Amino acid sequence: MSTPVHPETYYGPSFGALLEQDPQIAELLVTELDRQRAGLQLIASENQTSPAVLAALGSTLSNKYAEGYPDARYYGGCVEVDKVEKLALARATELFGADHANVQPHSGASANQAVYGAFASPGDTILAMSLDHGGHLTHGFKVSFSGKWFNAVHYGVDADTENIDYDQVEALAREHRPKIILAGGSAIPRLIDFARFRAIADEVGAIFWVDAAHFIGLVAGGVIPSPVPHADVVSFTTHKVLRGPRGGAIVCREEHAKKIDRAVFPMMQGGPLMHAVAAKAVNFAECMTPAYRSYAQQVLDNAAALAAGLDARGIRPITGGTDTHLSLHDLRGVGVSGRDAEARCDAAGIVLNKNAIPFDPAKPNIASGIRVGSPSVTTQGMGVPQMEVVADLIHRAVTQGDGDPEHAVAREVRAQVTELMTAHPAYPEPSAG
């Protein structure tokens, strides 16, 4: 256990008490931070939130019950948390240019549950991207509540362009007349044509919902187009590119505000997590700074450079590249499965995930692809030159490693990972400048 010099910076002012009372858990907090500091974190949905966000998360706001909304709670003593939630709401609507926000969803899945609750009833038809082409579990996958309770019809990508097949979306919408049309997912490297979706939704009288969990942080930074002007409702998580606390949120048009609020509470959730709401407020303010906008642009530049670097080494990006923070790569050119690639990278200090690629012949738990994302390494201050090195390290680990951390290639790659992580540390000690 390598206790940081200033543990309270990362674990909150009460870390000393935790260390004394429960050293087992305290040690695991530290070893997890060590893990995040030791390896390249390339999971596209992860990031390293700020000490200020962590402080809000570790605060006594966790003690407060606040069922309801500001000025309309079911508990006394909400005067301070009301101020917190009002700030979070004002910042969210300003940041995203939205009519209305709800910052109470505990997670992305909870936010999505609420959107279903607001606009659909069990048995209704929804149209969404299929999971195996880049969608999400909560977009009607058969083992999720969304697939069990709704009649989910799925669109996918075009086999040639590997981009969303908008003609298929249109044809399925006309055929099935869904209540909701949903855009977004967890492995979509390209921009989504929100105007086209809006036109299709209008034609069939559907609600147009964007699940922007993955890319909302790029929208917040103003570096990709926003879905907000086009969609009836936009759900998202606050912990991906956005770099806030783990959690969810929803923004919507004014006409849907009451429905959304009632669907979050009392339909789907009870008391909000006010410490998380405070942390979301801190994050939204961070997102309005010039430094955040530079970071968001660098996330894009780094993702493009990493995708190109892997492409140059025979690890082909689906769609040929990326417009976002993530790229999805087909490993068949190098003859390695996604499962093996993930294990080989892990052994070499590179954390990424196997991922199905569109029309994948392999089973999902083996997969023919990997997904890589640039948010964490960008937060650490890495830039395009480092992405060239990272692409080389991934290629070496994937093609020459065998999953054994003691393999010579794993050791070599890990040594270079350590060099990168030393030059661009995650959570640098304040004393180290």
The residues that are catalytic are 65, 67, 211, 237, 240, 246
Cα distance between residue 225 and residue 204, in whole Å: 24
> What is the size of the binding site for ligand DSN (CB under 6 A)?
4
Give the nearest distance from C-beta 352 to ligand DSN in angstroms.
Answer: 11
**Beta bridge partner(s), residue 126:** 152, 180
The closest alpha carbon to 56, from 91, 32, 97, 20, belongs to 91
The closest alpha carbon to 391, from 381, 399, 380, belongs to 399
Choice between 186 and 380, CB closer to ligand DSN: 186
Applying the rule CB under 6 A, the residues between 194 and 223 that interact with ligand DSN are none
- Cβ proximity of 251 and 229 under 8 Å: no
Applying the rule CB under 6 A, the residues between 130 and 159 that interact with ligand DSN are 136
- Name which position in 108, 140, 349, 369 contacts ligand DSN (CB under 6 A): 108
Whether residue 189 is preceded by a cis peptide bond, meaning omega within 30 degrees of 0, is no
- Name which position in 9, 45, 49, 238 contacts ligand DSN (CB under 6 A): 45
Give the nearest distance from C-beta 208 to ligand DSN in angstroms.
Answer: 21
Cα distance between residue 370 and residue 330, in whole Å: 7
The yes or no reply on residue 47 touching ligand DSN (CB under 6 A) is no
Cα distance between residue 32 and residue 11, in whole Å: 12
Give the nearest distance from C-beta 126 to ligand DSN in angstroms.
Answer: 18
CA dist list (Å): 330 to 316, 320, 344, 391: 5, 10, 16, 14
Choice between 89 and 115, CB closer to ligand DSN: 115
The yes or no reply on residue 113 touching ligand DSN (CB under 6 A) is no
Give the nearest distance from C-beta 183 to ligand DSN in angstroms.
Answer: 15
Cα distance between residue 84 and residue 284, in whole Å: 12
The yes or no reply on residue 186 touching ligand DSN (CB under 6 A) is yes
Applying the rule CB under 6 A, the residues between 340 and 399 that interact with ligand DSN are none
Give the nearest distance from C-beta 186 to ligand DSN in angstroms.
Answer: 3
**Residues at the contact surface with ligand DSN, assessed by CB under 6 A:** 45, 108, 136, 186
